[in-house]
């Protein structure tokens, strides 16, 4: 990585990357997907390099990367599953309809048919395939993936199950999903992934391909 700056993804609840200066001594060992230790506010965090950049944002105080972590480490990361079962069963929350509603809302607000919503940060949901692709794009190899969490269930915002019975339903569905039951294995609320940083000098066959007893295929 020859550029003097890089953008780093950090485990903080913000939908953005952060720009850091790359010390000259670290540029040869740094590449997209590298895990790095960086200063963030008053502490140090482990992040993943997304890309290298020539210039830093103007008017921003840029801090340096502390060090590049050694290859071969593991990362546990999760994402909201777009195709979660409780949304598939509720027409109001069905993923394809959500996209249409998002596009129509500004039109309805401008026409006065809907009141403008207060601005909120947009939540992002991914299909399992999309999230796997994001990990691969930053140099991380997926070792294991599974979905977790079923419910709460609703139908046009009506909740037909009591909280106690909903928990029992979740436990049963989760048990089936963990055993690789078709459909259920990929429709939990959260997608949990165990990944490893790819080392250019290490054969991919050195990584374990099955960490748990029943890997979940996306």
Every domain range in the chain assigned CATH 3.40.1440.60: 5-69
Match 């999230």 to its residue by tokens.
Answer: 131
**Alpha-carbon gap, residue 132 to 121, rounded angstroms:** 24
Q: Do 13 and 45 meet the contact criterion of CB atoms below 8 Å apart?
A: no
Q: Do 45 and 15 meet the contact criterion of CB atoms below 8 Å apart?
A: no
The predicted pLDDT at position 72 comes to: 53
Residues in the chain: 218
- pTM for the complete prediction? 0.61
pLDDT tens, position by position, for the chain (218 residues)?
A: 578 999 999 988 777 889 999 998 888 878 877 888 899 988 889 888 888 888 998 888 899 998 887 555 567 788 899 999 999 999 988 988 877 877 887 888 888 878 887 766 667 889 999 999 988 887 788 889 999 999 999 998 899 999 999 999 999 999 999 999 999 999 999 999 988 776 655 555 555 444 443 343 33
Q: Do 127 and 82 meet the contact criterion of CB atoms below 8 Å apart?
A: yes
Q: Do 88 and 151 meet the contact criterion of CB atoms below 8 Å apart?
A: no
Q: What is the mean pLDDT of the chain?
A: 83
**Alpha-carbon gap, residue 1 to 151, rounded angstroms:** 45
- How would you class 139 by CB atoms within 10 Å of its CB: exposed for 0-12, middle for 13-18, buried for 19 or more? buried
Backbone angles phi, psi at 42, to 5 degrees: -110, 20
Cα 209 to Cα 46, 178, 190, 204, distances in angstroms: 24, 17, 21, 9
- The domain 5-69 is placed in CATH, from the list 3.30.70.20, 3.40.1440.60, 3.40.630.10, 3.40.50.150, at 3.40.1440.60
Cα 161 to Cα 135, 157, 169, 173, 185, distances in angstroms: 36, 12, 9, 15, 22
Backbone angles phi, psi at 131, to 5 degrees: -70, -40
């Amino acid at each position: 990585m020859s550029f003097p700056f890089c953008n780093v993804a950090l485990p903080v609840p913000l939908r953005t990357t952060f720009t850091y200066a790359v010390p000259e001594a670290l540029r040869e060992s740094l590449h997209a997907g590298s895990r790095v230790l960086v200063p963030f506010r008053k502490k140090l965090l482990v992040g993943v390099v997304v890309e290298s950049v020539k210039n830093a944002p103007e008017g921003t105080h840029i801090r340096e990367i502390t060090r590049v972590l050694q290859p071969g480490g593991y990362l546990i990361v999760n994402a909201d599953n777009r195709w979660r079962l409780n949304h598939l069963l509720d027409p109001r929350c069905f993923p394809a309809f959500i996209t249409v509603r998002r596009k129509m809302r500004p039109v309805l607000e401008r026409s006065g048919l809907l009141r403008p919503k207060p601005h909120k940060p947009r939540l992002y949901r991914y299909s399992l395939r999309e999230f796997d692709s994001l990990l691969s794009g930053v140099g991380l190899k997926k070792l294991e993936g599974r979905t977790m969490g079923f419910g709460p269930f609703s139908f046009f915002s009506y909740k037909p199950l009591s909280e106690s019975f909903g928990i029992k339903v979740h436990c049963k569905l989760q048990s089936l999903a963990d055993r690789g039951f078709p459909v259920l294995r990929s429709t939990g609320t959260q997608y949990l992934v165990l990944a490893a940083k790819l080392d250019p000098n290490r054969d991919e066959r050195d990584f374990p391909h099955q960490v748990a007893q029943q890997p979940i295929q996306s």
